Amino acid sequence: MGCACGTSIDGKVAGCKNNGACQTGGCNKMNVFDWLSNMEMPGQDSFNIVEVRFKNGRKDFYRNIDKIHLTTGDAVIVEIPNGHHLGFVSLQGELVRLQMQKKKIANDNEIKKIYRLAHTKDLEKFEEVKKRELPTLYRTREIVRELKLNMKLSDVEYQADNTKAIFYYSAEERVDFRELIKILAGEFKIRVEMRQISLRQEAGRLGGIGVCGRELCCSTWLGDFKNVATSAARYQNLSLNPSKLSGQCGRLKCCLNYELETYMEALQHIPKIETPLLTEQGEARLQKTDIFKKIMWFGFSEENTWYPLNVDRVNQILELNRAGKKPATLIADVAEAKVSVQTLNSDLERLDKKYQRTTGKKKKKRKNKRRNPNQPRNQQ
């Protein structure tokens, strides 16, 4: 989607006109395409709740009580506890109703309202307030180090009215930051709110490029973080290497869950190998499984060769083992007929005798050829 920053001009989004990436940074983060924008609901009024986007893709829902004509990307002034804030319209219409049902947000009086469209002075003041965020972030990190608090401060967000700031941090344990709040409130003259986020949310707010070469899912479209276990890697036959399975947040990659259901469905047709396969050659242990091709590789401990078997053959060997029988090899049930050593030696002896007879005849023919035909045989 195109850049969504700026106010609308004659019903069209102005944008930052950067001809590429957003100049203001992160305006396309967590965008949703409104595929119901051109569809009208017959006999019903349009949904009066609007989705508004704030810094780093944070979104919330607000009620358009005054029926203000809004366009996606418009800057609006919204109601918040003890003040107001500036955000940008990211979604409106019936798709907002579906988003609220998905996120299980009730349509009640808890939803705040939209005051008005933002004026030029509001935008100018908002830009001035945003300039305070980086200096506040650096100074707060210094204070955290001085207080020796075990927490990581990742971002600061000021309200548009310059009366409150939200400090986003991550920590493994509970942190007592009462002294920190007193110092911040006295130094910056603002109301302070400390909001703890997970490491996945922190990576989503900071953004970045993953090992796949694309932007992080958590910073572009993924909003709900589900639990990712190492069993997801085992089912997909991935190497249990933490450096390869971990994302930029230090946790297991969220994409490990994307194809897990497909693998689980395919694994239903793969037999479970709890013990080695018993053959007359020895015990064959499972080395590798190609889940979608349904091929399983087995190898003997005495050999370095792996033998590919299809699922049907593996099930057949398992049935023989349950019945107390052993196939001759992994490939065939019956061993090939072995020729005795004596038989082989007798064949070699016959070949030797035959070769001696033929060589003797050739020598006699050569002697006859050397004789003079005009000379009698008995003449010396």
Task: For residues 304-326, give the mean pLDDT.
Answer: 91
Angle (nearest 5°) at CA 294 between 289 and 295: 55
Burial class (CB in 10 A: 0-12, 13-18, 19+), 93: buried
Task: For residues 216-241, give the mean pLDDT.
Answer: 87
Angle (nearest 5°) at CA 40 between 36 and 42: 135
Max avg pLDDT among 5-14, 34-43, 125-134, 218-227? 125-134
Q: What is the pLDDT of residue 204?
A: 86
Flag the least confident range among 89-98, 211-220, 318-327, 340-349: 340-349
Q: What is the pLDDT of residue 221?
A: 84
Q: pLDDT > 90: what percent of the chain? A: 40
Q: How far apart are CA 325 and CA 316, in angstroms?
A: 11
The residue written with tokens 């991935």 in the block is: 238
Q: Do residues 324 and 269 make contact, with C-beta atoms less than 8 angstroms apart?
A: no
89 pLDDT above the threshold of 90: yes
Higher pLDDT, 205 or 252: 252
- As a three-state string, the secondary structure of 229-297 is CCHHHHHCCCCCCHHHHECCCCCECHHHHCCHHHHHHHHCCCCCCCCCEEECCEEEEEEEEECCCCEEE
Neighbours of 354 (CB within 10 A): 10
What is the CATH topology of the domain spanning 131-197? Answer: GMP Synthetase; Chain A, domain 3 (3.30.300)
Structure confidence by residue, pLDDT tens digits, 178-213: 999 999 999 999 999 999 998 898 888 888 899 889
Q: Do residues 263 and 256 make contact, with C-beta atoms less than 8 angstroms apart?
A: no
Q: What is the pLDDT of residue 345?
A: 58
Structure confidence by residue, pLDDT tens digits, 98-155: 889 988 888 888 899 999 999 999 999 999 999 999 999 999 999 999 999 999 999 9
What are φ and ψ of residue 8, in 5° steps?
-85, 145
pLDDT bracket for residue 339 (50, 70, 90): very low
Tell how far CA 39 is from the center of its chain: 34
Q: What's the mean pLDDT when you consider all of the chain?
A: 82
Between the two ends of the chain, the Cα-to-Cα distance in Å is: 116
Composition of the chain by helix, strand, coil, percent to 5: 35, 20, 45
DSSP element (H, E) containing 12: strand 12-13
Q: Do residues 88 and 29 make contact, with C-beta atoms less than 8 angstroms apart?
A: no
Q: What is the pLDDT of residue 192?
A: 94
Q: What is the pLDDT of residue 371?
A: 55
Nearest to 254 by CA among 274, 228, 230, 235: 228
pTM, two decimals, is 0.66
Task: For residues 342-364, give the mean pLDDT.
Answer: 63
Neighbouring-strand partners of residue 8: 13
Helices (H) and strands (E) in the chain, counts: 11, 14
The residue written with tokens 């996120």 in the block is: 103
Q: Do residues 167 and 194 make contact, with C-beta atoms less than 8 angstroms apart?
A: yes
DSSP element (H, E) containing 195: strand 191-196
Q: How far apart are CA 217 and CA 229, in angstroms?
A: 18
Q: pLDDT > 70: what percent of the chain? A: 78
Task: For residues 206-222, give the mean pLDDT.
Answer: 87
Q: What is the pLDDT of residue 20?
A: 43
Q: What is the pLDDT of residue 352?
A: 72
Neighbouring-strand partners of residue 296: 289, 309
What are φ and ψ of residue 7, in 5° steps?
-95, 170
pLDDT bracket for residue 2 (50, 70, 90): very low
DSSP 113: B
Amino acid at 305: T
Helix runs in the chain, H state only: 94-102, 120-130, 133-147, 178-188, 199-206, 217-220, 231-235, 242-245, 260-267, 311-322, 341-370
Burial class (CB in 10 A: 0-12, 13-18, 19+), 53: buried
For the chain, residues classed under CATH 3.30.300.70 are: 131-197
Flag the least confident range among 85-99, 102-116, 349-363: 349-363
